[in-house]
Structure 1
Amino acid sequence: MKTLTSEQIERAWEFMLLNARVIDRHRFALHFRGGAPAPVLAALRPYENPDGGYGNALEPDLRGAASQPVPAQHALEILHEAGADDDPAVTRIADHLTTITTPEGGVPFVLPAVRDAPRAPWWQTADDPPAAINPTASLAGLLHRAGADHPWLKTATDFCWSRLDRPDLEFGAYDVLATLTFLDHVPDRDRAEAVFTRHRDALAAVGSDHHTAIDFASSPDGLGARLHPRDAIDAELDALIDAQDDDGGWDIDFPVWTPITRHEWRGVQTVERLLLLRSQGRLDG
């Protein structure tokens, strides 16, 4: 079983200093260099909009200022990393989600304001987009993890249960990630286990050109770790350690549509890969 050495982590830090966004450098410092959470929170603030949502390229492939659901998901993840589940920004996010929730009870994948600024070509939407399990399930799961008590959370949770109760539900890779986030953190554990058992084969069968078993197993205790055999996950973790580039970072394996996004995503990817390796006990020390 391979592990990442302290020297390799230092190489990753040098990569971050040379290439990554400020917010991702602070995240790296928080997790791997004994840094404080305050700089992470300070770096997150400029991405927040007056409506309580997030935009401004927090999601690197959305270059516009307008608030979108997926950047709100990123913000909740970063707030949690910084130990700030009780930050007022969490309530502001839920307030904002209430304003973009459809009559179905969930939020769309992306809102029509995406058309007002440059964005990756896969960020497309209709004039009146429907609610979607991705990212509603991720947002609901992260708010449950944060211990939020907000009316939107019940609405969104009911939407997620309703969708997951459908026998003909089809999953893409990001739907799997969203579903796992919801099922990992929703308080009704018996129902979560039952839904996971019912959909397990369908979730495990989902293919992707840039997701593998370890992407669904970010925590050894999460439901995603039960989708694939342990030896397959271990083999992918070994390969992930070998995939560290000579410059110290990890590369991305999805299209780069404008040059800056590769640098920004590689900073995100490097932090995320190190967090994954740490959660799986693959860092020395």
Structure 2
Amino acid sequence: MKTLTNDALAAARRYLLLNARLIDRLRCERLLDGGPVDRALAVLRSYQNADGGFGNALEPDLRGPESQPEPVEVAFWILDELDAFDDPMVIRACDHLLTVTAPDGGVPFVLPSVRTSPRAPWWETPDDPPGSLVPTASIAGLLHKHKVEHPWLGPATEFTWAAIGGTSELQPYTARAILHFLEHVPDRDRAHDEFARLREAILATVSLDPAAEGEAHFPLDFVPEPGTLPLFGEEVLEAHLDALIDQQGEDGGWAPNFPMWTPVVAHEWGGFLTVSRLRTLKAYGRLTS
């Protein structure tokens, strides 16, 4: 079993100092050194708009200031890392989600306001977008995980159940969102039933070869920390944890394997993902003590 050496960890820290945003440096400081939560929260709060939503390139491929649903998910993942779901940012963001939720109970993948700012080419939407499992399912899953009560969550949960029930073939990001929701939604019997029904469809979106190139989605993208739903066996996870250590770049970071459409996002995604990879290695006991 491989572990990330102290030299490799030092290289990752140097990579973050040279390339990463302040929010990601502070995520790393909290993860590895028990750094202060308050400072990380103050920086995250600067990405939140007056309407309660998040924007301002917190999701690096959305460069504009306007609030979008996906940056709420990114903010919530960071709050999850910081164990700070009691911060007022959460309720403010949920209040905002109420204002952009589609009639079906889900939030759209992206809102038409995205057209006013530079963004990656895949952020496109019709004029009246419907709710989408990405990011509704992940946001709902995180709120359930932290037992947050808010009027947005009930309809969003029902939307997610209905959308899952009508699903048989999946795309990778949708599969990951569904898996996270099923991991944390309170109705455990229903979650296990849907997981059993969709397990093979989820696995069909996974690249089990650690050397797969291109925009592959690997087991650790689906289970970045140990969970309760039996998607992968121990041998698969161990092999991919070894591979994750080997995939650290010569510069000390972990590079994105999806398109970089403008130069700055390579640095911003690299910093975000490097901290996420370190978090996964720590969660599975692969950092040198």
The structural deviation recorded for 1:155 is 0.6
SS at match of 1:47: coil
* Alignment match, 1:76: 76
Deviation by residue 1:38-88 (Cα, 9 ceiling, x = unmatched): 111011011100110000000000000111111000111112222211111
How far, CA to CA, are the matches of 1:11 and 1:39 in structure 2? 24
Pair 1:137 & 2:116 matched:
no
Is the 1:163–1:169 Cα contact (8 Å) retained in structure 2? no
Structure 1 residues 36-185: aligned runs within 5 Å? 36-166=36-166, 168-185=167-184
After TM superposition, where is structure 1 displaced by more than 6 Å over at least 4 residues in a row? none
The amino acid that maps onto 1:213 is P
Paired position in structure 2 for 1:257: 261
Alignment of structure 1 residues 207-226 onto 2, 5 Å: 207=206, 209-223=215-229, 226=230
8 Å contact kept, 1:59–1:70: yes
Q: Which amino acid aligns with 1:104?
A: D
Identity %: 53
* Residue 255 of structure 1, CA deviation: 0.9
Give the match's secondary structure for 2:140: helix
Gaps of 5+ in 2: 208-214
Partner of 2:211: none
Structure 1 residues not aligned, in runs of 5+ = none
Paired with 1:155 and 1:70, the residues of 2 have a C-alpha distance of 18
Taking the TM superposition and a 5 Å limit, the aligned residue runs for 1:10-21 are 10-21=10-21
Displacement of 1:281: 1.4
Q: What is the CA–CA distance in structure 1 between the aligned matches of 2:283 and 2:206, rounded to whole Å?
A: 23
Normalised TM-score (structure 2): 0.94
User: Greater shift after overlay, 21-30 or 172-181?
Assistant: 172-181
RMSD: 1.2
The CA deviation at 1:192 is: 0.9
| Superposition deviation, residue 207 in structure 1 | 4.6
Task: Determine the C-alpha separation between the residues in 2 that align with 1:28 and 1:233.
Answer: 23
* TM-score relative to the length of structure 1: 0.96
Q: What residue in structure 1 maps to residue 200 of structure 2?
A: 201
